Structure 1
């Protein structure tokens, strides 16, 4: 597709911006990438780039990590990644887009619900196991574990530096597991790696803008724009799939 490079670059621009600013924009990134790679292959393009940004972020935020929280979260995250990988390996591209569209709408609804009511699931004794499995599973299928991870970590009452560092390390670990699963499924190949390489310039530009200019953006305005983009993307996947 002659416009593939543009969609890849847009997805990578948002990826870089998200990783070094608000986070949680995976619901926008994957639909954008799927305009160039319609199907699970889109994940195979994104995840290596996520790992690159994770590595840079880990070097930036390498102090005050809450290892006890990670020790409770990551094993269940691995279970969620494994379950998501099994599901991913047993659905075709068209079904994947339908499932993903429904899942994105469900997560969008959850995000709006949490604006008005807390979710006690993240404060009970089983929070780490539930949050870990959900983040792993949703991260594989929808690339959208950011909001769920953020909710869980906020409830751990950590100081700001510990929250950021722990979040970065948790995502790097989960993304390594995701990449292993994608390689096992044969989704990572020369074409997807070429797509990742095409997006590198936009990725670094997004990281720069995310780091430098996020303070100038109103959180409420950003939330409205992101939710609008999410809704349009999910609707496109559900109702405008190519035959």
Structure 2
């Protein structure tokens, strides 16, 4: 078990609860967890430890929203996500931590700007050609960012918002998407040395708090209206992007 201060343990506990809430109520809130883990633990170890907690939360999200997924959207995204995942693995071999954070921060801000502009112009991704382009773009970016920093949530949140999914359809599609992608990432993370025995021991302590967050998120999601939900998603996405850009 890593030797951490009391404040560090409190922050990790908050991050673990947030992981659960982000999976079952407010996608994008997970950027808080990314920031806390990166601040408390070494960079590589933080990524691997957080991935295990995300997979635990994925189980609860899938069980809660398994009937609400848009499988047509998931199938459209699949080829691009695989490409993004492989690009992310290659990038991790070449780039240092600072380059990783800056690159993802720039991508997130660009995605937010494009999504908000599309909505302002009253365009959607419902017609065939733009839908394929959007799926290829967001899918590749989502696969890339989730591989290098577990930060694919904000990217895919922007895609699902652009598709104008309802709250439950959004959460169901996101639940299946990240459950499948995170499991696909796990072998690569192990081979890259991101998942460590120390990180796994830490996860054992934090898993109960992830469960608490997931169950609390279910309660919260049933009380959020569409407008509040979308504002929370966009707000957390912007906060996460700025953190990645400005943190040392």
TM over 0.5: yes
Does structure 2 conserve the Cα–Cα contact (< 8 Å) formed by 1:39 and 1:97? no
Instruction: Name the SS of the counterpart of 1:125 in structure 2.
Output: helix
2:174 to 167, 192, 195: 167
**How far off is 1:182 after superposition?**
0.3
**Matches of 2:153 and 2:103, distance apart in 1:** 18
Does structure 2 conserve the Cα–Cα contact (< 8 Å) formed by 1:31 and 1:233? yes
The superposition leaves residues 127-148 of structure 1 with CA deviations (integer Å, 9 ceiling, x where unpaired) of 2222211110011223222232
Does structure 2 conserve the Cα–Cα contact (< 8 Å) formed by 1:9 and 1:198? no
Match of 1:104 in 2: 105
Does structure 1 conserve the Cα–Cα contact (< 8 Å) formed by 2:104 and 2:241? no
**How far off is 1:227 after superposition?**
6.4
The superposition leaves residues 90-139 of structure 1 with CA deviations (integer Å, 9 ceiling, x where unpaired) of 33xxx313531453255246435644554979534322222211110011
1:69 to 44, 61, 73: 73
Residue 214 (structure 2) pairs with residue 207 (structure 1): yes
**How far off is 1:55 after superposition?**
1.3
Q: Structure 1: 5+ residue runs without aligned partners?
A: 239-243
Aligned length: 235
Residue 163 (structure 2) pairs with residue 153 (structure 1): no
Gap change, CA 1:88 and 1:21, over 3 Å in 2: same
Match of 2:83 in 1: 79
Name whichever of 66-75 and 215-224 sits farther off: 215-224
Does structure 1 conserve the Cα–Cα contact (< 8 Å) formed by 2:8 and 2:40? yes
Match of 1:19 in 2: 23
Match of 1:47 in 2: 51
Name whichever of 201-210 and 164-173 sits farther off: 201-210
Residue 144 (structure 2) pairs with residue 137 (structure 1): yes
Q: Structure 2: 5+ residue runs without aligned partners?
A: none
Provide the aligned C-alpha RMSD in A. Answer: 3.2
Instruction: Name the SS of the counterpart of 1:23 in structure 2.
Output: coil
Residue 60 (structure 2) pairs with residue 59 (structure 1): no
TM-score (norm. length: structure 2): 0.78
**Matches of 2:25 and 2:68, distance apart in 1:** 19
